[in-house]
A = this chain, B = another copy of it.
């Protein structure tokens, strides 16, 4: 039975990518060797790493003066690396916007290294909206925010204006919408949403901002070292980089970020219209801050959730349970999810209304 995969991440990937990855595990590049049993310094794998970096540059229109890295450790290690590289050893100060679980964790890590100003937080209403109208201290070493909050289903629609360095955790919406990389100094993203499997983290960093913190940075945590070694300072996560490269190739063939952004908008519109229309459900996020990637919704009082759960599972839908911090349901609609799957969910919601 065909599955409709709404998992929040690790999540759906294009079937053609999975096919190619499956084949590469048996015989990569006609070498009669598996992708995962060749040297990462072989010309075959170096070509993969180069293509992954170049596709990222092309798809996001990354200007000169930025480096693209594929590292390990997820956003959680970036929570450590970003302040280690950018927050001054003497009198360091960073500004963070707190929009959810991941922002909160990022703030906790930065606090170990210096002063952190939380410019605003939406914790007062369970992170169901994006704070606005805050001010960023101009003497901060950088301002950090999370562009899309996977757990709470909110996203920051307008890039914040700041005269500090701008750092963004784009783990759950990179490559889903157009961005102007020149507005940012550091972007990082775990691969396991729109880019590939868990185990790789993409970093886009403006070269000129590095080397100014005055810190003695552990080698693995030092962006400059990874830049100098072209993401081969140590053995990279070969498989995750390869599948990310395949997924970026797929995205390019689909027409790139502008094309997928339109599809993502159409998918989100379809689902949010049903959430708003259906008397048995309500969305949890402020309408103007709704994420196009993760739609969170609750059953209204009295709705027969046992029936609904049975119905969506019977329809082949996977991964619809909400995160424990919000409850209810969460439909994650990453790049590889076809609009047909969203239609199946909408149909189930309508049928559920009829049967209730």
Residues of A bordering B, CB below 8 Å: 1-3, 5, 7-13, 18-19, 21-23, 25-26, 31-34, 36-40, 72-77, 79-80, 105, 108-109, 112, 190, 192, 197-200, 216, 218-221, 233-240, 243, 318-319
CA A124 to CA B82, docked complex, whole Å: 39
When distances are taken between beta carbons in the complex, the residues of chain B under 8 Å from A235 are 9-10, 74, 190, 192, 198
When distances are taken between beta carbons in the complex, the residues of chain B under 8 Å from A239 are 197-199, 239-240
Task: Tell which of B7, B21, B39, B75 touches A234, judged by Cβ atoms closer than 8 Å.
Answer: B75
When distances are taken between beta carbons in the complex, the residues of chain B under 8 Å from A233 are 76
When distances are taken between beta carbons in the complex, the residues of chain B under 8 Å from A26 are 18-19, 22
Looking at A1, A76, A108, which has the most chain B CB atoms within 10 Å of its CB? A76
When distances are taken between beta carbons in the complex, the residues of chain B under 8 Å from A25 are 18, 21-22, 25
Looking at A22, A77, A199, A200, which has the most chain B CB atoms within 10 Å of its CB? A199
When distances are taken between beta carbons in the complex, the residues of chain B under 8 Å from A80 are 218-221
Question: Chain B: which residue is nearest A78 at the CB level?
Answer: B220
CA A220 to CA B105, docked complex, whole Å: 11
Question: Across the interface, do B72 and A199 meet the contact criterion of CB distance under 8 Å?
Answer: yes
The 9 closest A-B pairs by CB, nearest first: A199-B237, A36-B197, A72-B72, A76-B234, A22-B25, A80-B218, A198-B235, A199-B199, A74-B234
CA A75 to CA B219, docked complex, whole Å: 12
Question: Chain B: which residue is nearest A8 at the CB level?
Answer: B39
CA A337 to CA B318, docked complex, whole Å: 40
Question: Across the interface, do A220 and B73 meet the contact criterion of CB distance under 8 Å?
Answer: yes
Question: Across the interface, do B3 and A32 meet the contact criterion of CB distance under 8 Å?
Answer: yes
When distances are taken between beta carbons in the complex, the residues of chain B under 8 Å from A236 are 198-199
**Cβ of A60 to closest chain B Cβ, rounded Å:** 22
Question: Chain B: which residue is nearest A190 at the CB level?
Answer: B235
**Cβ of A329 to closest chain B Cβ, rounded Å:** 15
CA A76 to CA B219, docked complex, whole Å: 8
CA A47 to CA B23, docked complex, whole Å: 25
* Complex A-B: 7 CB contacts under 8 Å: A11-B37, A13-B37, A25-B25, A72-B72, A76-B234, A112-B218, A198-B235
**Cβ of A1 to closest chain B Cβ, rounded Å:** 6
Task: Tell which of B9, B18, B34, B74 touches A13, judged by Cβ atoms closer than 8 Å.
Answer: B34
CA A190 to CA B237, docked complex, whole Å: 11
Question: Across the interface, do A13 and B36 meet the contact criterion of CB distance under 8 Å?
Answer: yes
15 new A-B contacts, CB < 8 A, other than A3-B32, A8-B39, are A3-B33, A7-B37, A10-B38, A18-B25, A18-B26, A18-B37, A22-B26, A38-B318, A72-B77, A73-B73, A73-B234, A192-B235, A197-B238, A197-B239, A198-B238
- Contact (A237, B234) CB under 8 Å given A10-B37, A72-B73: no
Question: Across the interface, do B220 and A79 meet the contact criterion of CB distance under 8 Å?
Answer: yes
CA A233 to CA B77, docked complex, whole Å: 11
CA A7 to CA B200, docked complex, whole Å: 23
